[in-house]
Structure 1
Amino acid sequence: MKPKAETRKKLHEAALSAPKHSGVYLWKDETGGILYVGKAKSLKSRLLSYFSSTKDVKTGILISRAHSLDYITTSNEYEALLLENTLIKQHSPRYNISLKDGKTYPVIKITNEPFPRIFRTRRIQKDGAKYYGPFPNVPAVDGFLDFVKKHYKFRQCRVLHKRKQPCLYYHIGMCSAPCCGRVTEDEYRREVREVSRILEGTSEAAVKRLEKSMKEAAQQQHFEQAARLRDGIAAIGDLRGQNAVVDMDPEARDYIAWASKGIMVTFSVLRMRSGRLVGRDLYRVRSLKDEEEILTEFLMAFYTNSEDVPPRIFVPTEKGLTLARRWFSDVLGCKTHIETVLTILDEKTESVASPTPNYAQVNTEKRHTTAMAMAYFNAKEDAARRLRERGDFPALEELRSLLNLSHIPARIEGIDISHIGGRLPVASLISFHNGTPDRKNYRIYRLKTTDGIIDDFASMREVTSRRFTRIINEQGELPDLLVIDGGIGQVNAVQGVLDALSLEVPVLGLAERDEEIYMPGNSKPLKLPRRSDALRLLQRVRDESHRFATSRNQKLRTRENTRLLFEDLPGVGPKKAAILLKNYGSPEKMISKTSVPEGPAKIASLLGLSVARAKEVLAALPGIAEEQEKRKIIRSGYQIKNKTNITELALQAGSKKSEDT
């Protein structure tokens, strides 16, 4: 393969592995210089568009000169826009010069005066005023300021002169006339503080009061007033979003977070200088140390010069910071304030977790928690990228040793069952190859023998029988390891089917509650260390099989809930089913109303069918009514006694295999 083709393939693989999150991407040349900076609502979709067949000439030139691709994830598109603007100004990429505008975004200023003014500006001065922003959405800024003018009656004049009579703004209700003493300074500042809290995102009471006024205006049919209030609330929502890449705090500070995949650890450092994010650095290490030691070790390795230490450092844990603070003071001879920001993204849900109040120095300010979440997400994404790049061979080797296998389990399959009270049971079968998901070999099984009953053991037997009977018949490749989401009962059920089929496939179960590993015929579980590579890989397989099964069950429930029972009648589609529902309401009522000699003719006329076809429809009605009653029984919590011995089916399949042999 030619060097350019190899580079293009590498870039394409990097785009395929990018997350579906907002962020900024950087195309780089062979020397690491930045060719182009762009933003995206979905990094994966945007980067893959560069490799489509419909790209223009400029894109083709950019791809031909690019050697590597990097990206920084953000919490939302707004942050991506601000970060893109900062990076363009900082690096002046070659292909951004004629494409991007380098202007600064406007901010909202509240002046430092006895009776402050509120207005939009692009100039930030050290004059004691309060600045909020920046805001890329200029129309939203103007809409918010227009809303403030109409509802808060702040002065409009640039210079406040004492007057005997108020100006026109007072008479039209847009100023409280502080120039004439019609309002006290305390009363005026009370409203200024409320606007400040709205911009800071801390005044929910003000927004609720506006929503109440909007509803009252709508009820009184003052629709124009209600619309103005609605637009004002929308403008507040647009402006209150906090971002982690630009703020009005000029103090230098670093945000440090890390994520681990087994022994692989990635540290992410966001460097804020003069109110802007000027750098995001990723550091890859291998460590088995716990949380209390790993942070102190990184801080000592990262900060080697007192001149590089910012006044404030934010980290996600208080553990081990006592030694770190002492090291900064005694060894580097510098004073830095290390603060804890506990609100970070949870690895499973990627939702914001609540801070724990046990630590002495916990900062809960929203801009800091947002920045820490961004640092953590970038670290987590890089750790996952490392795992994809190298394969999960340490975990596979640990599994081989743990299970006494003759070779590493390159092909791992996972099974899980999903149902709601026994309804619409499905089984998922997912596949991992060399420790990474192999989605083209994912399968879903609609379970036939346990529909309406709750029996996970029977469900496991059915899916195992169907899966491995087909492998036998088609002479397919057996997996090196089978992972079951469950305990000893599920494992023994699967092992029974494999024994009946005379197959030797290693099986284990991973119970979610305590992350315990169960082997066939052994009720005593095995517990691996929390940082074990093997445990982490088994968790990934188990969680992926659970996700795949649950998502399919949800789709089936949605389809069932939006599909009419009448559609199961012969010759009846959605339109005819809607006609029957409108005229009869339920199968029982339809049976009672059509159980007369002229019933078939009536149905034939109503649906536009032949009389013979109408008779078929009526003949199928009792079965539909029975199905409806069956659903009611299942939903009420009763089980239908209808079990099939899947082990017997497996034994029959095994006997057939022996006969064929």
Structure 2
Amino acid sequence: MGELKKQIEKAPDKPGVYLFRNKEGKYIYIGKAKNLKSRLKGHLQNLKVDPKEQKIFEESSKIEWIITKSDYEAFVLESELIKQYKPKYNVRLKSGSGYPMLVITDDEYPTVLISRKYGEIKGDYFGPFLPARTARAMKDLIHKLFKLRTCDPMPKRNMVCFDYHLGLCSAPCVGKISKSDYRFDAKSAKAFLSGNVKKVIYQLYDKIEEYKEKMLFEKASVIRDQITAMENLIQKQEVLGLPFEEADIFYFHGKKVLFVVVRGHRIVGKNFLDFKEYGLYEDFYEQVLTEYYGKGNYIPEEVILNVDIKEKENISKWLSDKKGEKVSIKNSIPDEILSFINRNFNFTDISVLEKIFRETFGFELPDRIEGFDISTLQGNFTVGSCVVWESGDMNKKEYRRFKVKTVKGIDDYASLREVLYRRFKKYMDMETPPLVLIDGGKGQLKQGLIVKDALGIKNLRIFSIAKKEEILYTDDGKEINLYENQELLKLFTKIRDEAHRFAVSYNRRLREKEGLKEVLDRIEGVGKKRKEILYRTYKTVDRIAEAPIEELKKLGIPEKVAQNIKRYLG
């Protein structure tokens, strides 16, 4: 740590990119700054309050930097370096590539293809499609409705292929359709994908009349199917007539990101973006945008957020350069879309919760709350759980479980003290520890205060919550009936119930594991290590009994012992 501080003191007061590197030489975090020294000193100041910041410094052995001519140049370089090195503490989408889009190609006889990188195929792009599997379904539908060729590239043939007989292709390769009619089908497919069906739907009705007059009833039937699909598309839209034709909407709720796609003045897709690793919170919004569009996803005319971001100008310029035309970033989501989000997703308004929390308890809603519970079966398999609520949602990556080691028999208070003592020791180096919520009443609260005093932690706040009555007890003597405040009730019962579920599931796992091991104890040649291997691999007696001897041998179990296992369990 001391060496890193010395390196920070040597950092220049200039714009650039900085890179944290570990002992193996891998970059684990990359950032940019208008002033490198000032930004790196900011990292040091956040060290005591941000667990992610602590991990970065603990794992780093060196800080490097690259000076740039401008803040925007630093922004672009940062994006490229993150894309190249994929640092573990920068935001990364779980999908290794962009979301699938459909492309109506620019060929003489266009077809429809799937692409995950905007611009790699010449043509008109539509999407992205969320969830990803809908892209394939939509491609199949385009072939079925508009008969765009299924082969790519288009071959020269004397006979039609099987897809023509299946009704998936109009066979331009053998002249079964005129070039003008085929290109009209491609135009109709584009209208269908974009949602702007009014541009072609009247022309489709004219086509029906034309084919009827020429006694081409089969072709008229195809057009009728296309019109029906377009009319159904319009009727199914919940939000229509938005004031912009296309936009990507990012709705941030803590570290959940709801992504809504607007095309053709309507919502065409929605999904939660899934990340491998959350970055530092202060850079989170910017990193989500650069990670998403850095994957090659389609860039619309507008990007709309429900938060304000520091890098708005840089990101807007970066997106505009990539798209080749102006891209605007706004932080005001239209009421129609907010109403749609509220109807379809159960989000708590953090700003409302913060206000209620401050008025009720006299201090700010913490970024992190840790919930604790104890689970036991008549004094056996006693375990504790620690679950984490962070910035609006449960963070399962931060959950911890404890096997109680020092308590024999039934003693919930002693078990709770052991678990809290082991966890609270982690708080001693924190400038701002989390708020603690214990499942239980005044007695459980008292155990938390005993541990707090024993460790001498001054600024730790502890609450407990009693089941059924839903009374919240605070360390400064308040007793709050949560039924009188629904926002606080949802917050604290969610954390309490999750702590209970996590503790019970761990208790059950230990019981199942012990039951299996008791069976394995009776088998000759199965010692402690082999019991662990069998448990980790198979989990249940039935699965071990079904395992072939050759499979057991691959786990390092001698053939004679494997035969004993099969004989005993068979």
TM-score above 0.5? no
Work out which of the two has the higher radius of gyration on C-alpha atoms and give 1 or 2: 1
Relative to the length of structure 1, the TM-score reads 0.33
Relative to the length of structure 2, the TM-score reads 0.37
Larger RCO (CA within 8 A; separation ≥ 6): 2
